[in-house]
Amino acid sequence: MDSGREGASGDGVADAKSEPGSPAAGLKRALILLGPPGAGKGTQAREVAKVYGVPHLSTGDMFREHVAQGTELGRRAKPIMESGQLVPDEIVLGMVQERVARPDCAAGCVFDGFPRTLAQAERLEAILGGIPGLAGRSLAVNLAVDAEEVVRRIASRRTCRKCGAIYNTGGRMPRVPGVCDVCGGEVIQRPDDREEVVRQRLAAYEQQTRPLVDYYRKHGRLIELDGSRDISTVQRDLFAALERAG
């Protein structure tokens, strides 16, 4: 699994027009979803990837899949993730570099939870530089949400163990309790969603990831959105901003 969601959805979020920036014209960007844990990166990334028909690359989902499959990489990542720390850059970068080199990323992709350190951001630019069509085409979207709200959202999140689909006890839940609507997998609470781990994840975000907001702003590659509003309002503004960015 790479959290790839393919094909235009036609579910009415953004009408297909072949103007630059519209879904029909393709994404042609490495879109980067930034924001603290629980900001809604996965929720919005899935929708953009679906509508534009490009892969959704969630490094968190990739690590969770490695953990589930018991690979060597998964064995190294598991204790780090469960403590709320970041997995070392060289592990993340090796995994991303291999994935983004595949042909399905040539027309664009949506990164969710990557990059998370300045070293990862700089290396991503170098990797994209080697991909015709994506060189110099990164664009970051910062979903700003305060800590109190993200703690509330994470406490009520449920996730499919198999495909990573996201649910919320206060909103959309599976039609059959505990069974994913998308793939039939088991819907669970993520092991790193315990309160003390969430606090550590927030600290890691503040120290290591928040500086990326300034990094992308300085490079003129940042869209800033108020992520504290409801899912469909954030989604509408995100699609509008993508169309404007072209």
User: Is 41 tagged catalytic?
Assistant: yes
Assign 160 to helix, strand or coil. strand
Smaller CB separation from ligand AP5, 9 or 85:
85
Which of helix, strand or coil describes residue 14? coil
Active-site residue flag, 190? yes
134 CB burial (10 A radius; 0-12, 13-18, 19+) = buried
What is the C-alpha to C-alpha distance for residues 77 and 90, in angstroms, rounded to an integer?
12
Per annotation, catalytic residue among 46, 50, 64, 190: 190
**Minimum distance of ligand AP5 from residue 119's CB (angstroms):** 10
Catalytic annotation present for 17 = no
3-class secondary structure, 23: helix
Peptide bond into 36 cis (omega under 30): no
With binding defined as CB under 5 A, does residue 55 bind Mg ion?
Answer: no
Smaller CB separation from ligand AP5, 9 or 25: 9
The one of ligand AP5, Mg ion, none whose footprint includes residue 185, by CB under 5 to 8 A per kind, is none
CA distance 77 to 63: 7
Residue 42 or 108: the one with the smaller Cβ distance to Mg ion is 42
- 56 is written with which tokens? 């959704």
Nearest residue to the partner ligand AP5, using Cβ: 60
Residues that bind ligand AP5 (CB under 6 A): 35, 37-43, 59-60, 63, 80-81, 84-87, 92, 113-116, 120, 153-154, 156-157, 166, 168, 171, 192, 201, 230-231, 234
**Dist. CA 190–CA 212, nearest whole Å:** 26
Q: How far apart are CA 58 and CA 119, in angstroms?
A: 18
Beta-bridge partners for 100: none
* Phi, psi dihedral angles at 168 (to 5 degrees): -150, 130
> Nearest distance from residue 228's CB to ligand AP5, in Å?
7
Q: Which of 29, 41, 123, 158 is catalytic?
A: 41
- 116 has catalytic annotation: yes
Active-site annotation holds for 102: no
Residues 32-51, mask of contacts with Mg ion (x by CB under 5 A) = ----------x---------
User: Which of Mg ion, ligand AP5, none does 87 bind, CB closer than 5 to 8 A by kind?
Assistant: ligand AP5
Considering 46, 99, 158, 201, which one is annotated as catalytic?
A: 201
In whole angstroms, give the CA distance from residue 31 to residue 138.
6
114 vs 216, beta carbon nearer ligand AP5: 114
Q: Shortest distance, CB of residue 67 to Mg ion, whole angstroms?
A: 15
Q: Is 23 in the site for Mg ion (CB under 5 A)?
A: no
**Which three-class secondary structure state does DSSP give residue 171?**
coil
> What, of Mg ion, ligand AP5, none, does residue 138 touch, CB below 5 to 8 Å by kind?
none
b/e map of 212-229 (b: 16 or more CB within 10 Å)? bbebbeeeebbbebebbe
List of residues contacting Mg ion (CB under 5 A): 42
Question: Which residues participate in catalysis according to the annotation?
Answer: 41, 116, 157, 190, 201
